[in-house]
Structure 1
Amino acid sequence: MSTATIDDAFRDQVEPLRREITAHCYRMLGSVHEAEDLVQETYLRAWRAFDSFEGRSSVRTWLYRIATNACLTALEQSQRRPLPTGLGQPNSSPVGELESRPELPWLEPLPDSLVWGEPDVDPAEQAVTSDNIRLAFVAALQLLTPKQRAVLILRDVLAWRASEVAKALEISEAAVNSALQRARAQVAEHAPERPELPDDDRSRQLLDRYLAAFHDYNVDRIVELLTEDAVWEMPPFTGWFRGHKDIRHLMTAQCPAKGPGDMRLLPTSANGQPAFGAYHRGPDGVYRAFQLQQLSIGPDGIDHVACYFDLTLFAKFGLPEALAEE
């Protein structure tokens, strides 16, 4: 078989899997930046080995095996990626200086466009679902050892048999079952299954009100849209805040926005959840990237907001660095 023929056959069989392999690497690593790098590494390894692929498993299974082991190799040199709530400290007081730790590798959001592409694609036809990439689930995965993480994903997300996982990871089936039991207990504790979400119309109305409240920078109206025990966290700041009183105090005391027109939001989506690029108006009237907000909506309203101050994420989401004056 000629090199050109091999290249064409390789491309035809593996390219349709790129989006779900991206989601897989993201679950393992907790970083969209690292996930994209590992997808490239996976495809390079697969291309080099493709002419010797004997078809004893599906191409999909073969590619996932390569991706998993590439991620495990990368994780040998990496720290886990938490959110502030995953650091093991109690919720913070909004009074006083905020501690920033930009040197820590923080959990990052995953743009929906990388795993679902065009918005009119039927989610039912996708290998990636919003539940298996939701932020709380991926955050809980980061509490596991890399091997436990791989076992849980391969068994519970991809529905592999224990024997398949054992072969891919080169461990015994007993070791697979033991790791799976421990991993399931950890994830159940830190990312319990979500209750039924409000219907699309209710969610859309809630998000419209949230966007309008931020444009007016009306802190009371923003906080009213949150549940009573909502959590607000802001990596790389290590503190996290719970409940209306503390979140209201935090926004009033710490945010540079003070009144109508100081902030603008552009809608996007991450991990199957609504998100906004937030822009703050400078003295020159230009709105510059400020933070990326990711919202979790439960039956009673917005129950979690993660605000990421890593401005390199804006490019990953296709968001501009600045907006013109209104």
Structure 2
Amino acid sequence: MPVQEDFIEQAAPFRAELIAHCYRMLGSVHDAEDLVQETYLRGWRGYPAFEERAALRTWLYRIATTACLRALENRARRVLPSGLGAGSADPDATLDGDTGVYPWLEPLPDALTPETVVVARESVRLAVMTAMQELPARQRAVLILRDVVQLSAAEVAELLETTPAAVNSALQRARAHLAELAPADAIAEPDDTARRVLLDRYCAAFENADLGALTELLATDVRLEMPPVPIWFTGRDAVTRFLAKRAFAEPGTIMLIPTAANGQPAIADYRRGADGILHAHAIHVITTGTGGVTAITVFLEPTLFAAFGMPPTR
């Protein structure tokens, strides 16, 4: 078998986990897919000189991490609206200001998160991803490579061309900083049955414009964010008043399809246009807690549907 064909066969099984890795580094599924494509191109070109001094997986992580660090050199961190200022209680607030100013965090479909280890799946939760974006790029890389990818300090040191002592020091700083920023007591996601019930009730409430049914699902301190809209809402009263006035529509004009993103329940939201066709509108990622739904993050970006394997229209 030709060398490059052998590379394609040997490297293919690592594609999904490399996308998840680049997503953790960059906060964008689109950028992650682009850099994994670049990683495979570089790997394909360099494979004839690859002498298996390291495992192929580790070699691919080296290429991908280097590409991510290079990409992050001149980029601002990705954020969610709640990281920009206080929430609003005004359902009439203007929503179209400064929508293109910030680089926004994007959701990652669960289908692109192949790891089954708990720490790996928790590392893509929106709250953790937001906190990780605060870390310096190399600290972020060390944290992900050690705690998620499970490489040894020696392997990470070789990959980043530094020393094991420097890796351990960066890891300690990254863990301490993340502990300050990320929730200390993460709430476990509902089991499969409870998740299906939650999503069915959530979908029915939106599709039927049933504010009472939706209100029953929400915690008192629920948060609503809608990137790229910088304004966000906090508290059940403010959230429900905004949804009733600005997001609900006539029954029959909305179709919601359950999915999953960032290890959390999620919804693909289609809206019927003037042409009578249902068009991709938004991806809702739902965060749950003991009091019900504690956060709804609505990503108003129809191009995300392709990453979820969903069509732009129905």
TM-score, normalised relative to structure 2: 0.90
Q: Secondary structure at the match of 1:238?
A: strand
Distance in 2 of aligned mates of 1:320 and 1:185: 42
Residue 127 to residue 228, structure 1, CA distance change in 2 (3 Å)? closer
In the other structure, the counterpart of 2:89 is 93
In the other structure, the counterpart of 1:143 is 134
Within the candidate set 134, 145, 148, 1:154 is matched to 145
Unmatched runs of 5 consecutive residues or more in structure 1:
117-122
Whether contact under 8 Å (2:113, 2:121) holds in the other structure is no
Whether contact under 8 Å (2:189, 2:264) holds in the other structure is no
Question: How far 1:106 sits from its partner (Å)?
Answer: 0.8
Distance in 2 of aligned mates of 1:229 and 1:171: 45
In the other structure, the counterpart of 1:250 is 242
User: What amino acid maps onto 2:102 in structure 1?
Assistant: L
Question: How far 1:80 sits from its partner (Å)?
Answer: 1.4
Q: Does 1:237 align with 2:229?
A: yes
Within the candidate set 18, 22, 45, 2:19 is matched to 22
Within the candidate set 45, 49, 52, 1:52 is matched to 49
The one-character-per-residue Cα deviations of 1:90-128 (angstroms, maximum 9, x if unpaired) are: 222334222342242211111223344xxxxxx64x799
Distance in 2 of aligned mates of 1:283 and 1:14: 46
User: What amino acid maps onto 1:85 in structure 2?
Assistant: S
Which residues in structure 2 correspond to 1:218-229 (within 5 Å)?
218-229=210-221
Which residues in structure 2 correspond to 1:171-250 (within 5 Å)?
171-192=162-183, 193-250=185-242
Distance in 2 of aligned mates of 1:321 and 1:196: 32
Residue 81 to residue 247, structure 1, CA distance change in 2 (3 Å)? same
User: What amino acid maps onto 1:200 in structure 2?
Assistant: D
Distance in 2 of aligned mates of 1:196 and 1:32: 24
TM-score, normalised relative to structure 1: 0.87
- The percentage of counterpart residues that share the same residue type is 49
Distance in 1 of aligned mates of 2:280 and 2:307: 13
Distance in 2 of aligned mates of 1:24 and 1:284: 40
Whether contact under 8 Å (1:218, 1:260) holds in the other structure is no
The one-character-per-residue Cα deviations of 1:6-51 (angstroms, maximum 9, x if unpaired) are: 1232123211111111110111111111111100111111122222
Whether contact under 8 Å (2:259, 2:267) holds in the other structure is yes
Q: Does 1:264 align with 2:255?
A: yes
Whether contact under 8 Å (2:187, 2:289) holds in the other structure is yes
Question: How far 1:150 sits from its partner (Å)?
Answer: 0.4
Residue 100 to residue 252, structure 1, CA distance change in 2 (3 Å)? farther
Within the candidate set 100, 103, 106, 1:102 is matched to 100
Distance in 2 of aligned mates of 1:71 and 1:82: 17
Question: How far 1:53 sits from its partner (Å)?
Answer: 1.8
Unmatched runs of 5 consecutive residues or more in structure 2:
none
In the other structure, the counterpart of 1:74 is 71
Q: Over aligned residues, Cα RMSD in angstroms? A: 2.2
Within the candidate set 287, 291, 297, 1:306 is matched to 297
The one-character-per-residue Cα deviations of 1:146-199 (angstroms, maximum 9, x if unpaired) are: 111101101111222223222211233343233222221232233235233333
